[in-house]
Structure 1
Amino acid sequence: MKKLLTLFVGMLFVFALTGCFGEDFDVGVPTALLHLEKGLQNQHIQLTEANISWSSSSGEIKETVDNIEEFGLSQDVISVSPNQKASLEFQENEDNGGDIWIDPTITVVLWKDGEKIDLELKDNREFQFPTNEGDYVLEVEFVNSVSVNRAQYVAKIVIKETNEQTKITDGKLPEFTLMEVPEIKKIKSLESDGEIFDYGYAEVCWNNCSEHNIYNYPDIHSGDVEIGDEIQIDWYEMKPQPTEINLLQINTDNYEVIKKKNINVTNIPLDIEVDEKKIGTQYALEFLWKEGNEILGRSMLNFRLE
């Protein structure tokens, strides 16, 4: 009986593996998407297929591009800012069935005037464009390690700093939705890159603060913390930079400000160490953009420790 049970479990394991490999074989060339976050606006742009060598139960695809840089520069322009963050997503083509790839290898490079610039791709498939302005070709390569299928994708990238997105012009701020959002992370150790922490970010007033400057603090969803954790808030990417920042402690009974502390704008990032007193506390980081004494813009980053 024991041998029969072992044989049965072994057969199930083989069938499961067969199913996995079969499904992987059935997967066609994935669709590659470039995700760009511009302030509160998200863009999802499909990249163009270039060199393809891919076999599946749906058939074999062979595509060849002789000059990858020339081909890339012929595509529609995708505009990004210096140092802008981006990420990649790969989706299965619905016509091919299947929805998995086993341990793919993904690389990202930029081409400019025949020179290759390697970009670091993080585990979450996020990367960052360089500082130098100019016209580039983005090349993304996707290699399926099991079947050795290869797919290459390209896009024309123009890195350019635009005045309307980064400066106060004629006493007016850029559109709020195009402004970069401050980043808040929870750091558990010095070796950790941190993880995104629960928060809410909202406009209070924008280019009309003399008329609308009232803010009601929300009942924000708590983020989990432990004593010794560190909350790190970074506003370096916000352009134009705020002229004044205040850390506010909020009374969770009536949602009124009970303590206010001015923060040095150049002290980036702001680190808040979690101790026993801070657990259960709600905060708001107030960002102000001013010309003289006149407030041009005001926003709030709300978070709560639990």
Structure 2
Amino acid sequence: MNGFLKLFMGFFLTFTLTGCIGEDYDFSPPTVTISTVSESMNEQSIELEEVNIDWDSDKHYKKETEDILSFAREQKPVSFKSGQKVDYGFDSQDFAIEELNVSLWKNNKEIKLEINDDRSFHLPKDEGEYVIVFDLRSDKGIAQFVGNILMAGSSQEQIFESFFHEKMKDMHIEEVGYSYGLVQMEFNVVHEDDAIAVFRENSEDDEEQISIAYIEKVDNQWEWIQTKGTEWTSPVKWSSMNQPPYIYSGEISDSSIFEVYVGDEPSKIINVEGEKRYWYAISPTKDVEISIIKEDGSKEIIKEINHEELQSK
């Protein structure tokens, strides 16, 4: 009986190892997918079509397409937002990239796109139907892919909000238990093509703070310039950014407060949730006086830190 079991196990291991040795591996040219995240946080993607291939791996792969633009225009167009950030990826990568180029074609004119280090690029802002061409040169050979995309216009708010969500995701990608929510956006606050974003943040230990960010366009792209945040229960009653524009901000826990002034500048007050309110204002100068006006008309100067609250903590 023991001899039979040993013989059976021997056959079983032989067949198992044979199956592993004979397993098929895919060394064919990769497929390329481009994708983006919409304002509703839904992912949209398209797999590009192979047009020209000259690839050596387990065997030689060859494919030729004479008129790649005509071929691409025959494909069903997939809609993207103009100006949007787009990510690209390969289904496998058993090759070394030597050169990679992405371009768009419209009316037989080529627009070369700049590729970012995080495997992404930005679409132009002009609307219309475009052919996208993806050129890959590697140690295994060359591969060219195309697609047909339709770019619809986005409002300034949509483009900014998309940038905001992408940036927040990048900044906190490794933080466990982190969450946030956009509260308010305001555009053209100091000059044209800048913005302010007010947002709530929650950490893994359930501490909540509210933050304000100043963002402006540089070379026609949104860039995150500076941020200031405060916890709802903090003894710090207000804070200001350390470089221009000097944005002052703080939380309001007293329901009798009617107005907040930064110097002579009235602040904007936001209802965040329930009785939680938040204010911010922009001052041309640093180190100005912060004052509040209550519903009964009384005025009070507010220090940056409430030392009584600080001592009680």
Q: TM-score, normalised by structure 2?
A: 0.49
Once the two structures are superposed, the pairs formed by residues 17-56 of structure 1 within 5 Å of their partners are 27-39=27-39, 40-56=41-57
- Structure 1 pair 63–296 and aligned structure 2 pair: CA distance change class (3 A): farther
- Counterpart of 1:117 in structure 2 is 111
Q: For 1:43 and 1:257, locate their aligned partners in 2 and report how far apart those are by CA, in whole Å.
A: 44
- Counterpart of 2:223 in structure 1 is none
- Counterpart of 2:171 in structure 1 is 197
Q: For 1:75 and 1:180, locate their aligned partners in 2 and report how far apart those are by CA, in whole Å.
A: 27
Q: For 1:184 and 1:71, locate their aligned partners in 2 and report how far apart those are by CA, in whole Å.
A: 33
Q: Which amino acid aligns with 1:137?
A: V
- Counterpart of 2:90 in structure 1 is 90
Q: Secondary structure at the match of 2:162?
A: coil
Once the two structures are superposed, the pairs formed by residues 267-282 of structure 1 within 5 Å of their partners are none
Q: Secondary structure at the match of 1:135?
A: strand
- Structure 1 pair 234–141 and aligned structure 2 pair: CA distance change class (3 A): same
- Counterpart of 2:78 in structure 1 is 78
Aligned: 1:161 with 2:153: yes
- Counterpart of 2:67 in structure 1 is 67
- Structure 1 pair 234–201 and aligned structure 2 pair: CA distance change class (3 A): farther
Q: Secondary structure at the match of 2:97?
A: coil
Q: For 1:155 and 1:202, locate their aligned partners in 2 and report how far apart those are by CA, in whole Å.
A: 35
- Structure 1 pair 196–261 and aligned structure 2 pair: CA distance change class (3 A): same
Whether the aligned pair in 2 keeps the contact of 1:79 and 1:159 (CA below 8 Å) is yes
1:100 corresponds, among 74, 94, 103, to 94
Q: For 1:91 and 1:156, locate their aligned partners in 2 and report how far apart those are by CA, in whole Å.
A: 20
Q: Which amino acid aligns with 1:158?
A: L
Which of 1 and 2 has greater Rg?
2
- Counterpart of 2:144 in structure 1 is 152
Q: Deviations over 1:263-289 (max 9, x none)?
A: 9xxx7xx9xxxxxxxxxxxxxxxxxxx
- Counterpart of 2:230 in structure 1 is 249
Q: For 2:75 and 2:200, locate their aligned partners in 1 and report how far apart those are by CA, in whole Å.
A: 47
Q: For 2:214 and 2:101, locate their aligned partners in 1 and report how far apart those are by CA, in whole Å.
A: 30
Whether the aligned pair in 2 keeps the contact of 1:111 and 1:138 (CA below 8 Å) is yes
- Structure 1 pair 262–90 and aligned structure 2 pair: CA distance change class (3 A): same
Which structure: greater strand fraction? 2
Shift of 1:62: 1.8
Where relative contact order (Cα < 8 A, 6+ residues apart) is larger, the structure is: 1
- Counterpart of 1:141 in structure 2 is 135
Q: Which amino acid aligns with 1:32?
A: V
Shift of 1:107: 0.6
Shift of 1:249: 0.7
Shift of 1:200: 3.3
Return structure 1 stretches of 4+ with deviation > 6 angstroms.
293-297
Q: Which amino acid aligns with 1:136?
A: Y
Q: For 1:32 and 1:155, locate their aligned partners in 2 and report how far apart those are by CA, in whole Å.
A: 10
Whether the aligned pair in 1 keeps the contact of 2:32 and 2:90 (CA below 8 Å) is yes
- Structure 1 pair 42–184 and aligned structure 2 pair: CA distance change class (3 A): closer
Q: For 2:123 and 2:200, locate their aligned partners in 1 and report how far apart those are by CA, in whole Å.
A: 37
Shift of 1:53: 1.4
2:203 corresponds, among 219, 222, 233, to 219
Structure 2: runs of 5+ lacking an equivalent = 1-24, 173-177, 185-198, 206-211, 218-226, 248-268, 279-313
Q: Secondary structure at the match of 1:130?
A: coil
- Structure 1 pair 248–90 and aligned structure 2 pair: CA distance change class (3 A): same
Shift of 1:161: 0.9
Shift of 1:30: 0.4
Shift of 1:87: 1.7
Q: Deviations over 1:225-248 (max 9, x none)?
A: xxxxxx976476xxxxxxxxx955
Shift of 1:70: 1.1
Q: Secondary structure at the match of 1:44?
A: strand
- Counterpart of 1:95 in structure 2 is none
- Structure 1 pair 55–217 and aligned structure 2 pair: CA distance change class (3 A): closer
Shift of 1:124: 2.2
Shift of 1:142: 1.1
